């Protein structure tokens, strides 16, 4: 559960009822309940889009932008999805037949503005399909899935424009943050196949010593990236841009795959391309 949902849950307890059909009613409802939480110092809430639920026509999904300051002056920015039928407001809806959350059907899509030239690692920009990978190089599943997927798609440049976004999970794999920045620095220096080589780095995911992290990276990739390189403004800009794009489309775990702009829960749609 995200931090904002946890904070709101403390306030709402079991009550999620509200008459809400307009964006403003949703914003007012969430603002009122968030503000009553003593851990939140200030908050701004805005509905960015409203989506009809195909499976349940009487319900709508609201994609909400939350910008808050919590205790300790920590800044929190994220998107949330809320559902309403005009009588009830709920943070989730579960399909009783499939036991799956309906959030998946209304998650934000990757748009043209998200496909950055610097994120295109293989394939032609105008290929038949665009595939985007958000990944943490020290995530165990990512280490088995990502290289295999990349190797498959890089051989078909007319079928796949393959975009890669660095999305380290610092709470689980703190070493992945500096490792991802090192990969960005190497890419900016013109090193080829950096992302594939990144998944060959042998390193304890809990490592926090930057010198050790860089040695492991340089040994695996054949580079001489330094701590100074990690602080370069172009590296920081690319790293933050990847994070912002991930936040924009509500990426929360790794690996997350988008196939032609739509989140691919199966992570296998690319295999069906002929």
Residue range of the domain that includes 23: 3-105
Residues 137, 7 within the same domain: no
| Residue partners of 56: CB distance under 8 A and separation at least 6 | 85, 93, 102
What global pTM score does this model have? 0.84
Domains contained in the chain, number:
2
- State whether 56 and 142 are in the same domain: no
pLDDT digits (tens, 9 = 90+) for 37-58: 999 999 999 999 898 898 888 8
Q: Are residues 88 and 18 in the same domain?
A: yes
Q: Do 123 and 259 fall within a single domain?
A: yes
Residues 95 and 144 in one domain: no
Question: pLDDT digit string (tens) for 131-179?
Answer: 999 999 999 999 999 999 999 999 999 999 999 999 999 999 999 999 9
Residues 49 and 126 grouped into a single domain: no
71 plus 187 within the same structural domain: no
CATH of the domain at 136: 3.40.30.10
Asked if 131 and 47 sit in the same domain, the reply is: no
Residue range 76-107, pLDDT digits in tens: 888 999 999 988 889 999 999 889 889 878 88
- Whether residue 127 is found in the same domain as residue 260: yes
Q: Is 33 in contact with 12 (CB distance < 8 Å)?
A: yes
Q: Are residues 220 and 238 in the same domain?
A: yes
Torsion of CA 186, 187, 189, 192, to 10 degrees: 100
pLDDT at 14: 39
Rounded to whole angstroms, the Cα distance separating 219 from 56 reads 54
What percentage of the chain carries pLDDT values higher than 70?
92
Same structural domain, 21 and 91:
yes
Determine the longest span between alpha carbons in the chain, in angstroms.
Answer: 60
Q: How far is the CA of 235 from the CAs of 2, 166, 229, 231, 242, in angstroms?
A: 27, 12, 8, 7, 11
| CB environment 245-259: b (16+ within 10 A), e (fewer) | bbbbbbbeebbbbbb
Domain end position, chosen among 105, 135, 154: 105
Cβ-based neighbours of 222, under 8 Å, separated by 6 or more: 191, 197
Mark which of 39, 73, 105 sits at the end of a domain. 105
CA–CA gap between residue 13 and residue 6 (Å, rounded): 10
The pLDDT of 15-38, averaged and rounded, is 79
Q: Is a pLDDT exceeding 90 seen at residue 233?
A: yes
pLDDT at 242 over 50: yes
| Residues 122, 94 share a domain | no
* End residue of a domain, out of 40, 75, 105: 105
Buried b (16+ CB within 10 A) or exposed e, 169-200: beeebbbbbbbbbbbbbbbeeeeeebbbbbbe
């Amino acid at each position: 559960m995200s931090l904002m949902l946890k904070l709101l849950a403390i306030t709402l307890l079991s009550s999620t009822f509200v008459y809400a059909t307009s964006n403003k009613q949703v914003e007012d409802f969430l603002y009122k309940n968030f503000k009553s939480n003593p851990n939140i110092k200030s908050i701004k809430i805005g509905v960015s889009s409203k989506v009809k639920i195909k499976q349940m026509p009487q319900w709508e999904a609201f994609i909400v932008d939350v910008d808050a300051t919590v205790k300790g002056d920590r800044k929190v920015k994220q998107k949330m999805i809320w559902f309403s039928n005009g009588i009830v407001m709920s943070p989730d809806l579960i399909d009783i037949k499939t036991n799956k959350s309906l959030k998946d059907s209304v998650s934000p899509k990757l748009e043209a503005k998200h496909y950055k030239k610097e994120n295109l690692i293989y394939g032609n920009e105008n290929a038949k399909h665009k595939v985007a990978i958000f990944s943490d190089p020290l995530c165990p599943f990512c280490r088995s899935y990502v290289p295999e997927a990349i190797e498959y798609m890089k051989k078909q440049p007319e079928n796949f424009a393959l975009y890669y976004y660095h999305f380290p999970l610092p709470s689980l794999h703190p070493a992945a943050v500096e490792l991802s920045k090192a990969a960005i620095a190497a890419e900016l220096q013109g090193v080829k196949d950096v992302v594939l080589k990144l998944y060959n780095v042998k390193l304890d995911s809990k490592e926090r010593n930057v010198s050790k992290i860089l040695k492991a990276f340089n040994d695996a990739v054949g580079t001489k990236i330094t701590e100074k390189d990690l602080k370069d403004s172009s590296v920081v800009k690319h790293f933050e841009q990847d994070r912002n794009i991930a936040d924009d489309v509500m990426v929360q775990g790794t690996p997350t795959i988008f196939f032609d702009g739509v989140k691919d829960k199966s992570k296998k749609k690319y295999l069906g391309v002929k």
